[in-house]
Structure 1
Amino acid sequence: MTSATHSSLFPQVPTAADHAVPPRDADAVLDGLDPEQREVATALHGPVCVLAGAGTGKTRAITHRIAYGVRAGILPPASVLAVTFTNRAAGEMRGRLRLLGAGGVQARTFHSAALRQLQYFWPKAVGGEVPRLVERKIQLVAEAAARCRIRLDRNELRDVTGEIEWSKVTQTVPEDYPAAAAKVARETPRDPAEITRIYGTYEQLKRDRGVIDFEDVLLLTVGILQDRPDIADQVRRQYQHFVVDEYQDVSPLQQRLLELWLGDRDNLCVVGDASQTIYSFTGATPDHLLDFRTRHPNATVVKLVRDYRSTPQVVHLANGLLAQARGRAAEHRLALVSQREAGPEPVYQEYPDEPAEAEGTARRIRELLDAGVPASEVAVLYRINAQSEVYEQALADQGVPYQLRGAERFFERPEVREAGVALRGAARAGANDTMLDAAEDLPSQVRAVLGTKGWTAEPPAGSGAVRDRWESLAALVRLAEQFAASRAAAGDGTGAGLAEFVAELDERAAAQHAPTVEGVTLASLHAAKGLEWDAVFLVGLTEGMMPITYAKTDEQVEEERRLLYVGVTRARVHLTLSWALSRAPGGRASRRASRFLTGLRPGSGARGAAAGGAGGIERGSGSRRKRRGPVQCRVCGRTLTDAGEMKLMRCEGCPSDLDEALYERLREWRMEQAKELGQPAYCVFTDKTLMAIAEAVPATESELAGISGVGRRKLDRFGADVLALCAGEEPPGKAADEPSDEAADEPSEG
């Protein structure tokens, strides 16, 4: 059967919000499921293993399975525990279950479920209050290292903390760490004996202060369930049916907790994809998924391979990428079959340097936005977080709003906190609040309240702090609209008032289940797991970055391939893969594209035409630039490679002839410009560019243009002001008074 036929029989997988009316009975829950999803939904007894490829509707299948069991009277809601790995995924699952009529089911992360049990049973099992939970262990690790007289830099501190976390989830005690690390060929950031000492001291510090960390939550829950059969029996009487999502990411410690929850029963449904195992550095292993049928010979096994997310072109590339894979996970790969209409071919782009790559990516994103693609449906994905800065600058130069995934949490933003206080106050005032007199429903009430905090029906211009604040408030407005619609669909429209909405916000804040914010997403490939966008830009795909330099063993390299596969399968329609030949402008073009693209992109190998499709390789527009020679320090003559030093034309440590008074005047002027533009200050000029101007003190337009960071557009826009300041004069006029959207149509040269 062709994918077109599939597509007509089984619609694109919807979210819970797509259910205008809740299913009328158990059989109606099965409507719209494809044959394999229906098989999952109706397999309610005994062990079930669902091998689900990317975009195949696994969450839909397992939530409908739970809802069908509940609506059919087979699964009592309170007896079901659905476990996943992120608060966002757990929140999404709870929302879907509620709309399917199974709102009483518990959907939690492993840590959340274990913490609840620990808090409940601690007084009975141990006595007293549960020790305080330390959310950030890195400070304690730093103190432990200091007590051991071991000096760690910031990166080593982070890596040693990771080693301690890995040890705990693999149930490795400090004295066994060296042997355990050697057994799995783990590349340790410091001598294993030193890590053993730090790990042991860290554990002692926690005991002395009566605190626990996140891994302790699992360890202590496991300990109580192992040592107290009466408590284990109580938990098993409560929970009799288990569903585990993302089972390929289960650690040995989580698997042990799951076994203790289960006891001698087999009412377990697991869902996973070995080809998406990307967290082995944290202790995750696909072995539990791959060995499931060995442990449960009578298990029902269902494969989901119909991909409802991505176009055939994207799926073809994803399949081609895995076809080159090796190892145990590769032997169990799923060949996806797209159910969508054909789309554009993936684009491969090569650039001369990283700034050119960022600018080219930003220009293409601006084109997509101008063509009607929402900013929230575009993502730039990279291997490590340090790659984000150049893309932040490039997007800001194009006037494109963006959000950093993994940065400040949504519910911790000042404007969201203020909005919560205002909504809570309005909910308490109720009918006495005159501000709500004209508001007929929940969304209009929320708009009225947030209108006092800066929300408007139309977004402000620009992409700076003002726009960021508006986007946060707009996300709350959309959430109110979705909340009211879901309550109405569930037949509970009367329960969609401000008080109920505030309670929903509190629940989401506790679970860190944030709403969608409008803006292009910048995220690492690891942080992108479980998400999807209409357009995805995979950037920085060079040897040494993908695979990363420290991926030495075949197994580590294969995990890097799987990481790229995860990135590819985040795209629904548009997919661009790019790389740069050098780090900085004028640098030696010594880099080469990732080995994972060999045989996929045209002209890169014998399999290029067959596996790569027709997607063409393009030279980024930046490659037409005139190449500059090596940039040398104007003080000592050393060849510069750091972007910041190249901007200053000198080494960081070389003497500076900075005109400090001019530098301060430039900073004050920049602050005024940024405020009027509603953009971050660095969108006008970065600190390094201002410093370079204050050192060079240019007298002419050509001298100003010769400073790195002053491109044609910024020269036209700000040049007269800057030259006047350099001459000790007042700026002739405010550049912010000029039309701000002109810049959006021009390529950034700054």
Structure 2
Amino acid sequence: MTEHLDLTPDVRRLIGGLDPEQTEAVLAPRGPLCILAGAGTGKTRTITHRIAYLVATGEFAPQQLLAVTFTARAAGEMRTRLRMLGVQGVQARTFHAAALRQMSYFWPRHVGGSLPELASSKFRMVGQAAARERIATTTDLVRDLASEVEWARSCLVGPDAYPEAATQAARETPLPAAQVAAVIARYDAIKKNAGVIDFEDILMSMAYLIESVPEVAREIRSQYRGFVVDEYQDVNPLQQRLLDAWLGERDDLCVVGDASQTIYTFTGARPDYLLDFGERYRQATIVQLERDYRSTPQVVALANKVISGSGGKLAKARLRLVGQRPDGPSPTLRTFDDEPAEAAAVARRCRELIDRGTSPAEIAVLFRINAQSEVYESAFTDAGVPYVVRGAEKFFEREEIREAIVFLRASVRSAGGSELALDEQVRRVLASSGWDPEGSVGQGAARERWESINALVGLAEEMRAADPATTMEGFVAELDQRAAAAHAPTIQGVTLASLHAAKGLEWDAVFLVGLHDGMVPISRARTPEQVEEERRLLYVGITRAREHLQLSFSLSRAPGGRGSRKQSRFLDAFGGGQSSTTAPSVRRRAKVTRCAGCGQALVPGDVAAGACAECRAHGKNLFERLRQWRLGGARENEGPPYGVFDDETLSAIARRAPSSLMGLLGVKGVGETKLGRYGSEVLEVISAGRG
């Protein structure tokens, strides 16, 4: 495919400047086409040129093509590029926008009357549904229930099927699955009685109209003859059902995706549709784009190393990127004593890059959860580095933080001096306002809220370490100053964002922070599939960097803390030791097996046992102490010992010897119910053994 002498001048112009694989995708015969496009390989350019080619050759009129994406920004970019190629009239929309446009046209004609009002949020109706089920709710619980409602509807799971489906998907439900199912059923009834529809109804109703009304099917399929779907790895069952309805028996479908960037399965996304495309369409053309034009070869090499450790079905579709840019600096891995030191160093490095000419808008700091932003907002403020927070509220603008500061300020006014240390005072005040110091608060919005408030406790610990005489009044004054500084307007600044919010974006310099086990992968990732999604999330973060990439983690959260954290298991591409600061070993992978207890790299003689000699000895003794404790607990509960924890679970606890409730929750066999019942006692047994 090097000459193309038989092509018209217009077509040769469209493929000018494309690489061989991009050209193959653009010129592929009409019919099913799957483009497996790695990060930075020019997928948007390829699919827009593909659309322009189909129009230029007369295969389709522009109005007969529908391109669907997942964000309005991506749809707008696609329309802009098509206009630059001289193509007008192609519909480029999100799934919801395309379906809403069609529903607005067909509903009055085939259902009658105006299209029902679209509910802007599920929150109010989900809250009503929970109340009618006599469930005491909080704002966070309603948010988490709304997420479950959305997941169930996106996965085509009805209330009756929800408990089994949630179990199979290993979902951590905010309430027992049967109660969530009852809320879903009640929500559907409330929505119907109110005469409103939600975003899932738009897709479902449009699919149903096409499936059940022949006239609608004929008109839709006459209007739209060809389809393009971007980010196909993120399609959920409801979206696929609508796509199937649009297509009918036809196969003029081009899909684009990358299995290694599958990071939204928790919302219902199913990469199987991308992975099985060749089986569904036996005559499909499949093209792989692996030439990375975004990142330097050094960044690309690290990305390949990290993702090469993945397993399972998605690994079979893994692409190996080939960097096309000139060489750049090697990625670095840095270790810090504590989180404030890590944030301060990142802020200083950003200041250096800016002083050397890098635009602040071309720098990003990416973290796993939004609660991690506070320490960076503070460090950047102190360093005079402008920043913007993407995808979330600034720390001091969050509702839970504003409420917490109100309680703290009230405690200053209502109480005199206290003999307690500052951090203990802060814990008591926040606990009295409903915050749980032990962190046994579930997942989702509740967990995010807990992490944000816990960051205030961390700040109090830092201030007490710096000055033991710091008072509560001084602490509140510090919070007020930080909040005022964070509200300062910034026109352009370094981006602070979560890894999920960074999807689809890129910067000249990227700092990936907080990369310790328990955060990346996050502790609530328990199944192999969930851990692999965490690996892909890190891969997405790495591939956001064009040139400069720094990865880092801290040994403890606060200054003076116990430095017990271990670097993320996904960073073994750097080698096994924590002292690694650069990536000379990126080109040659060192296989590292880690101790199940302490996380350190194992010497060959210990690999078979899965733990180092010290942890094996400690674990054996701890196991016996846990068995004695369990016997007492079983007597109190008048049940068999295995009803507390079985031997396999006790053995796993003994090997890992977690020091926190969250760490204990990460042990297989320890659920939230048993954590609440026995967690504190287990930690006391472990702590006594350390002493």
**Structure 2 length normalisation: TM-score?**
0.69
| Residue matched to 1:430 | none
Q: Per-residue displacement from partner, 1:446-487 (whole Å, max 9, x unpaired)?
A: xxxxxxxxxxxxxxxx9876643xx3xxxxxxxxxxxxxxxx
Q: Could you tell me how far apart the structure 2 residues matched to 1:96 and 1:408 are?
A: 31
Equivalences for residues 98-177 of structure 1 within 5 A: 98-177=83-162
Q: Per-residue displacement from partner, 1:622-669 (whole Å, max 9, x unpaired)?
A: xxxxxxxxxxxxxxxxxxxxxxxxxxxxxxxxxxxxxxxxxxxxxxxx
Aligned-residue Cα RMSD (Å) equals 2.3
**Aligned AA for 2:299?**
V
Q: Per-residue displacement from partner, 1:319-360 (whole Å, max 9, x unpaired)?
A: 000111111111210011000100001111111111111111
Deviation at 1:376, TM superposition (A): 0.9
Deviation at 1:602, TM superposition (A): 6.3
Equivalences for residues 126-525 of structure 1 within 5 A: 126-407=111-392, 467-468=489-490, 471=491, 518-525=492-499
Name the SS for the 2:288 alignment partner. Answer: strand
Query: Are the aligned partners of 1:250 and 1:288 in contact in 2 as well (CA < 8 Å)?
Result: yes
Query: Are the aligned partners of 1:115 and 1:217 in contact in 2 as well (CA < 8 Å)?
Result: yes
Q: 1:408 to 1:132 in 2, by over 3 A?
A: farther
Query: Are the aligned partners of 1:532 and 1:570 in contact in 2 as well (CA < 8 Å)?
Result: yes
For structure 2, the 5+ residue unaligned runs are: 1-7, 395-483, 591-691
Q: 1:408 to 1:112 in 2, by over 3 A?
A: farther
**Aligned AA for 1:378?**
I
Query: Are the aligned partners of 2:331 and 2:583 in contact in 1 as well (CA < 8 Å)?
Result: no
Deviation at 1:393, TM superposition (A): 1.5
**Aligned AA for 1:179?**
E
Q: Could you tell me how far apart the structure 1 residues matched to 2:231 and 2:59 are?
A: 24
| Residue matched to 2:74 | 89
Q: Could you tell me how far apart the structure 1 residues matched to 2:542 and 2:108 are?
A: 48
**Aligned AA for 2:558?**
A
Query: Are the aligned partners of 2:234 and 2:264 in contact in 1 as well (CA < 8 Å)?
Result: yes
| Residue matched to 1:662 | none
**Structure 1 length normalisation: TM-score?**
0.63
**Aligned AA for 1:118?**
M
**Aligned AA for 1:584?**
A
Deviation at 1:138, TM superposition (A): 1.9
Name the SS for the 2:160 alignment partner. Answer: helix
Q: Per-residue displacement from partner, 1:47-91 (whole Å, max 9, x unpaired)?
A: 001111110001110001111222232221000101111111111
Deviation at 1:183, TM superposition (A): 2.4
1:532 to 497, 501, 506: 506
Query: Are the aligned partners of 2:48 and 2:78 in contact in 1 as well (CA < 8 Å)?
Result: yes
**Aligned AA for 2:11?**
A
Q: Could you tell me how far apart the structure 2 residues matched to 1:406 and 1:122 are?
A: 34
Q: Identity, % of aligned pairs?
A: 58
Deviation at 1:604, TM superposition (A): 6.0
Query: Are the aligned partners of 1:602 and 1:614 in contact in 2 as well (CA < 8 Å)?
Result: no
1:611 to 582, 586, 589: 586
Deviation at 1:162, TM superposition (A): 1.3
Q: Could you tell me how far apart the structure 2 residues matched to 1:612 and 1:135 are?
A: 50
Query: Are the aligned partners of 2:233 and 2:262 in contact in 1 as well (CA < 8 Å)?
Result: yes
Name the SS for the 1:352 alignment partner. Answer: strand
**Aligned AA for 2:530?**
Q
Q: 1:72 to 1:116 in 2, by over 3 A?
A: same
Deviation at 1:189, TM superposition (A): 2.2
1:579 matched to 2:553? yes
Deviates more, 1:590-599 or 1:96-105: 590-599
Deviation at 1:394, TM superposition (A): 1.3
Q: Could you tell me how far apart the structure 2 residues matched to 1:363 and 1:246 are?
A: 36
Name the SS for the 1:225 alignment partner. Answer: helix
Q: Could you tell me how far apart the structure 2 residues matched to 1:522 and 1:167 are?
A: 31
Deviation at 1:208, TM superposition (A): 1.6
Deviation at 1:303, TM superposition (A): 0.5
Query: Are the aligned partners of 2:335 and 2:578 in contact in 1 as well (CA < 8 Å)?
Result: no
Deviation at 1:187, TM superposition (A): 2.5
Deviation at 1:383, TM superposition (A): 0.8
Deviation at 1:153, TM superposition (A): 3.4
Q: Could you tell me how far apart the structure 1 residues matched to 2:55 and 2:182 are?
A: 51
Deviation at 1:609, TM superposition (A): 5.8
| Residue matched to 1:589 | 563
Name the SS for the 2:563 alignment partner. Answer: coil
| Residue matched to 1:67 | 52
1:77 matched to 2:62? yes
Q: Could you tell me how far apart the structure 2 residues matched to 1:27 and 1:612 are?
A: 38
Q: Per-residue displacement from partner, 1:545-599 (whole Å, max 9, x unpaired)?
A: 1111111000000000000000000000011111111111222212211111124
Query: Are the aligned partners of 2:52 and 2:87 in contact in 1 as well (CA < 8 Å)?
Result: yes
Count how many residue pairs are aligned between Structure 1 and Structure 2.
Answer: 493
2:540 to 558, 563, 566: 566
Query: Are the aligned partners of 1:345 and 1:613 in contact in 2 as well (CA < 8 Å)?
Result: no
Q: Could you tell me how far apart the structure 1 residues matched to 2:530 and 2:488 are?
A: 43
| Residue matched to 1:18 | none
Q: Could you tell me how far apart the structure 2 residues matched to 1:612 and 1:391 are?
A: 32
Name the SS for the 1:598 alignment partner. Answer: helix
Name the SS for the 1:174 alignment partner. Answer: coil
| Residue matched to 2:41 | 56
Q: Could you tell me how far apart the structure 2 residues matched to 1:375 and 1:103 are?
A: 36
**Aligned AA for 2:366?**
L
**Aligned AA for 2:315?**
A
